[in-house]
Amino acid sequence: KSVRAFCTHPIFAPGSLEKIMSAGIDEMTVSDTIPLPMKMNLPRLKTVSCVPEVARVLRSLTTNNQ
């Protein structure tokens, strides 16, 4: 078995990400809704882009309101 964590808006207090990763989590996935500092580029930290979905919704809203 593996332990995976997911976070929508990755705001981490100083040192908290390292504590989370050292607690036995195999992988942590975060969204790109808030930019991560480059120093948080850890091998088991994955970033998922929300840009395509946000663009789709905004396009849909713009198209439907015209």
What does the pLDDT look like over 29-66, one tens digit per residue?
999 888 877 666 678 889 999 989 988 999 999 886 65
The model scores a pTM over 0.85: no
**Residue 26 DSSP symbol:** S
Output the six-digit token pair for 42: 């850890």
**Burial (CB count within 10 angstroms: exposed 0-12, middle 13-18, buried 19+), residue 27:** middle
Alpha helices in 11-50 (DSSP H): 16-21
Alpha-carbon gap, residue 53 to 46, rounded angstroms = 18
pLDDT of residue 4: 93
